[in-house]
Amino acid sequence: MATNTALITNLCTTKFAILKWLQMLGYVIIVFFLIDGKRQWAPYTLIFICAIIFGILCLATLLINYFVLQSRNRNNTTRPKLEIAFNGIAILFCLVFFAILTIDYVKMLSGNYNFHKYLPPPNIGKDGWRNRILVVLVCFYIF
């Protein structure tokens, strides 16, 4: 029973775990909001795929952190290096995607959809799609 409690504590209630779960939540929101638009424009597809990959990697780093703590090898410097490398790459991609989506949002505000391969799905509409891009921008800004 103590092992299950330690598992839940390390995977859910530590500061590191909570930040990882919030990061994964941000990637899930991005995936859900871009799922209907990945055919519209190639960068949407790239952002969609990267959000899935980064979400999986967040979970992997959380699990790696737990199992390293379980092995009681506290002198292991691989975990912090792995976490810093992952976060550095994720930040770089998020900044690039934030810049791309900001330009996209500004162009859509002026009514310019010419650079998209297709218009937004009819059930969402142009205003709805702009709102979705705004939500994704906020997720990239926060995470």
Angstrom CA distances, 55 to 82, 90, 108, 133, stand at: 15, 10, 28, 19
pLDDT digits (tens, 9 = 90+) for 9-41: 667 888 888 999 999 999 999 999 999 988 899
Q: Check pLDDT > 80 for residue 139.
A: yes
Q: Rounded to whole angstroms, how far apart are CA atoms 136 and 85?
A: 23
- For the chain, give the mean pLDDT: 87
Q: Rounded to whole angstroms, how far apart are CA atoms 140 and 143?
A: 5
Domain total in the chain? 1
Q: Check pLDDT > 90 for residue 5.
A: no
Which pLDDT score, from 0 to 100, does residue 15 have? 87
- pLDDT exceeding 70 applies to what percent of the chain? 86
State the maximum Cα–Cα separation within the chain, in Å, rounded to a whole number: 60
Can you state the angle between helices 78-109 and 125-142, rounded to 10 degrees?
150
Which pLDDT score, from 0 to 100, does residue 71 have? 66
Which pLDDT score, from 0 to 100, does residue 68 have? 72
Domain that includes residue 119, residue range: 2-142
